[in-house]
Every structure is written in C-alpha cells, then in structure tokens.
Structure 1
Amino acid sequence: MKKAILIAVLLGGCDLTASQERATAERADNAQCSNYGLKPGTAEFAQCRMSMDQHRQARVGAALQQIDRNNREAADYNERRLARPTINCTGTTTGNTTNTTCR
C-alpha cells in the first residue's frame, strides 16, 4: 500500500509501470554521469551510477518515512477528535423525585 502511494506521489500521476520508471531513471542517470564527462564501462562511471542510485533510494526512504509520519499524525488527530470524556452520573432519590448529577 505504501509503495503504491509513494509511486503515485513520485510520478505525479504518470501512468508508468515500475519497469518503465526504472528504465527512465537508468537513462537519466546514464545521461547525467555522461554529462559529468565520465565514460560508460569505467570505474568512475559505475561509481557515479551507484551514487545516483543511493541518493534515489534515500529519497524514497525519506518519502516513505514522511508518509508514515503523516499517517500516524492523522490517526492521532482522529483519535483525539473522536475521544469522548468519561461521564460519571450519580442519582439521589427523595420521595418521588430523583436528582441525577453527571460530571
């Protein structure tokens, strides 16, 4: 469920499959590392790609943590909003009259 929400948030409503999204990210990472002047097949290019992947994973992790925080805050808010105070009532009867006091 969380991954579905995250994908929807990260893709901004685009209708991409997970494999299409990975392929798009791979092309973007390759292009960026090439723009840095690195050549595919070199150790430096591989390091660049790993670094970009780690940054992406960190962003996804941070987004999942934010979703968790938002869900907890919403649940806490709803619990407080729906919480009802405890009411204790006592009754005293004098003759035909019963007086009830609630606090």
Structure 2
Amino acid sequence: MSKAEPMRIQILGKEYLVACPDEEREALFASAEFLTEKMKEIRDNGKVVGADRIAVMAALNMAHELLGHRSSKDDYQFDVSKRIRALQDKIDVALNQGRQLEL
C-alpha cells in the first residue's frame, strides 16, 4: 500500500484536504460525490438548514441504509444456514436408511 498523500475534495461546495493512498483516490472522489448528492437532496428539501445539520442528516440516512442492508443480509444468511441444516438432516436420514438395507 502506498503512502497517504493529501488531496483536495469538494463536498457541497466546500473544499477539504484529505490524506489518501493513490490506489484509493477514485473511491474517495466517488464517496465525496455520493455524499454531496445526498446532502443536496436534504438541502433542496428545505427542512434542514445549515451545512453541519445537513451533513449529520445525510450521515444518519446512509447509516440507516447500510444497517438495513446488513439486516437483510443477516436474515438471508440465517435462512441459507437453516436450509443447509435441513438438507444435511435429509442426507443423514437417507444414508442411515441405505445402511439399514445393506445389513
């Protein structure tokens, strides 16, 4: 991994200097653009005033979305695990029946 070099990004028209490794620059720019769009949506809605408050609301909205995806993923993984266990039980039953026929 390369050394983190300072780079300038803009979020909602304000410039920030952020240390970032070369290989992560594109991702940082994409993140800044994504955040700017989310903040513009909140600002343009007109219910939240002030850049700090807009930033906090955008962060809360993104955290909520992220946690929602995690919850869905956890539910899916639990369902898959449950199905795998059921298949293992069926295989065990079938193998045991096959052994009984051999005797």
Question: Could you say which structure has the higher helix fraction?
Answer: 2
User: Using CA pairs below 8 Å that are at least 6 residues apart, which structure has the higher relative contact order?
Assistant: 1
Normalised to the residue count of structure 1, the TM-score between the two structures is 0.49
